[in-house]
Chains A and B, each alone.
Chain A
Amino acid sequence: GIQVEQSPPDLILQEGANSTLRCNFSDSVNNLQWFHQNPWGQLINLFYIPSGTKQNGRLSATTVATERYSLLYISSSQTTDSGVYFCAVHGSSNTGKLIFGQGTTLQVKP
């Protein structure tokens, strides 16, 4: 099945810094989502982005499907950005199954 790899696994930032999280996938995809899991365990939808670029406030995401990767940009980070960031994909060959990467754990220090 499709493999999803996220990097880096852990990231520590000072408040106000910018960061880039990466998601690589091993096969073509029909769907890619980014989620934020907050310290209370809730999974929050950030982006649904099978291709192209989207922005939402301080966050933006870019998916280059032909090169099998997606990037999540966080600008001017805040302590509330702390948590785990997951990407998840529907592979073209395993439709119906949303497969997750291992996540990037982000800690933003005040």
Chain B
Amino acid sequence: DAGITQSPRHKVTETGTPVTLRCHQTENHRYMYWYRQDPGHGLRLIHYSYGVKDTDKGEVSDGYSVSRSKTEDFLLTLESATSSQTSVYFCAISEGEETEAFFGQGTRLTVV
């Protein structure tokens, strides 16, 4: 299994509070991705990173920011959580731009 760890695995937070999700990899892969999964929408790309301090937006980036200060860590921040951000969040990694991607276990976030 690819060495990907997401933390926390579950979180309940209140509307308006900041939340940071962490993705840690031990594979030294260049690319890292954040997705959200919602019923009826499949997996949608939020942001991705193609190197340290290099990031770009995905399909549903509004309300989210990311940072990557080290190869192994990719952080997803919800500056002010809203109920519409209740979802399951997945991190993925890939060695190159279009090589095989591997997913973490997911983080279930509930905003109340």
Contacts and interface: CB of A to CB of B under 8 A. Distances in A.
B33 to A, nearest CB: 7
B62 to A, nearest CB: 16
Contact of A98 (B41, B88, B101, B105): B101
B43 A41 contact: no
Given A30-B98, A48-B100, A102 B42 contact: yes
Interface stretch (B11-19, B21-29, B44-52, B74-82): B44-52
Interface residues on B, range: 20 to 34
Contacts of B102: 45
Contact of A43 (B50, B56, B58, B90): B90
A33 interface: yes
A86 B98 contact: no
Contacts of B101: 33, 88, 98
Interface stretch (A52-60, A62-70, A89-97): A89-97
A96 B48 contact: yes
A99 B45 contact: yes
B97 A96 contact: yes
B99 interface: yes
25 contacts: A30-B98, A31-B100, A33-B100, A35-B103, A41-B88, A41-B106, A42-B103, A42-B106, A43-B106, A45-B102, A48-B100, A86-B43, A88-B43, A88-B101, A95-B97, A96-B48, A96-B56, A96-B97, A97-B48, A98-B45, A98-B92, A99-B59, A100-B43, A101-B42, A102-B40
Interface of B: 31, 33, 35, 40-45, 48, 50, 56, 58-59, 88, 90, 92, 94, 97-103, 105-106
